[in-house]
A and B are shown apart, each in its own frame.
Chain A
């Protein structure tokens, strides 16, 4: 089993990818995941998910198994194989 990372909305369209899987040797944090994603997607996720001070940018959602990481350990939330991370900018209008 691998760590599953899924992209939705503009992330999926911009990257022309619906996600990626990583076989992890040990647990990593969301921060470390963003670094891995940056390597595979040319720095895209730091730009989209993080503010210049390194905090999570408003308007982007990082879910670990359906839970918003803001309510977990934020960027220090640990993830492992079998977890699913969902990344998307939620739609706010009506």
Chain B
């Protein structure tokens, strides 16, 4: 076990901790959700993170995308995120892919899960399709204003993202701010780890709805 993980030792069995340090995740989109996921995954000590994004840092990203500052405006997001994460000198390997995710994307074959870091449903449906074709677990999250939802989709899941969220596309740009994005990404990482480390009570055929205005979380059964 790595020295800097000592304070989380009691949370996991020896087997779970070993598994945690062997995990590899793909972060699809290094925006608000993705940068938060990357920070959390690095801190819990996973083996490797793949960062995917094709965009450059813009001024409007800085209210929630925690790996970037004003000096990064115009830089490829994955490059700036990699530099930011590597300064902490922790063991998690950071691999970057400066490319747009499409149905032709060659998904790395060593990943244990795909994290949804997208900001629209059209891209998410493509990601879900890639996860299905490559038989890799996929964890969706979406955040808007004070509300979010999280859904774990497994290779054997009967319901895919489209089955639940078809018709979700909207024309207006969603309003998002840092506290709500960070909470959502943190729960997304937590739920992914619960599944990957073999906890019993992970999100099985359920959608987790988060209402930060009412301070409530509720599971919606997807029968």
> CB distance A66 to B223 under 8 Å?
yes
Residue from the list A13, A66, A94 in contact with B214, Cβ < 8 A: A13
Please, which residues of chain A bring their CB within 8 A of the CB of B159? 66-67
Please, which residues of chain B bring their CB within 8 A of the CB of A56? 167
Please, which residues of chain A bring their CB within 8 A of the CB of B152? none
Looking at the assembled complex, report how far the CB atom of A6 sits from the nearest CB atom of chain B, in whole angstroms. 8
Please, which residues of chain A bring their CB within 8 A of the CB of B220? 6, 8, 63, 66, 86
Q: Chain B contact residues (Cβ within 8 angstroms of A): what range?
A: 35 or more
Q: CB of B32 within 8 A of chain A? A: yes
Looking at the assembled complex, report how far the CB atom of B172 sits from the nearest CB atom of chain A, in whole angstroms. 9
> CB distance A94 to B149 under 8 Å?
no
Q: CB of A27 within 8 A of chain B? A: no
> CB distance A90 to B143 under 8 Å?
no
Residue from the list A8, A12, A66, A93 in contact with B144, Cβ < 8 A: A93
Q: How far is the CA of A8 from the CA of B149 in the complex (A)?
A: 10
Please, which residues of chain A bring their CB within 8 A of the CB of B120? 92
> CB distance A92 to B145 under 8 Å?
no
Describe A's contact surface by its main secondary structure: mixed
Q: Which residue of B lies closest to A84 (CB)?
A: B221
Q: Which residue of B lies closest to A8 (CB)?
A: B209
> CB distance A70 to B222 under 8 Å?
no
Please, which residues of chain B bring their CB within 8 A of the CB of A86? 220
> CB distance B176 to A94 under 8 Å?
yes
Looking at the assembled complex, report how far the CB atom of A22 sits from the nearest CB atom of chain B, in whole angstroms. 19
Please, which residues of chain A bring their CB within 8 A of the CB of B174? 91-93
Please, which residues of chain B bring their CB within 8 A of the CB of A13? 211, 213-214
Q: CB of A39 within 8 A of chain B? A: no
Q: CB of A88 within 8 A of chain B? A: yes
> CB distance B211 to A9 under 8 Å?
yes
Looking at the assembled complex, report how far the CB atom of A63 sits from the nearest CB atom of chain B, in whole angstroms. 7
Residue from the list A58, A66, A71, A90 in contact with B142, Cβ < 8 A: A90
A selection of 14 A-B contacts at a CB cut-off of 8 Å is A8-B147, A12-B211, A58-B167, A60-B167, A61-B165, A66-B220, A70-B167, A90-B168, A92-B121, A93-B174, A93-B176, A93-B181, A94-B33, A94-B116
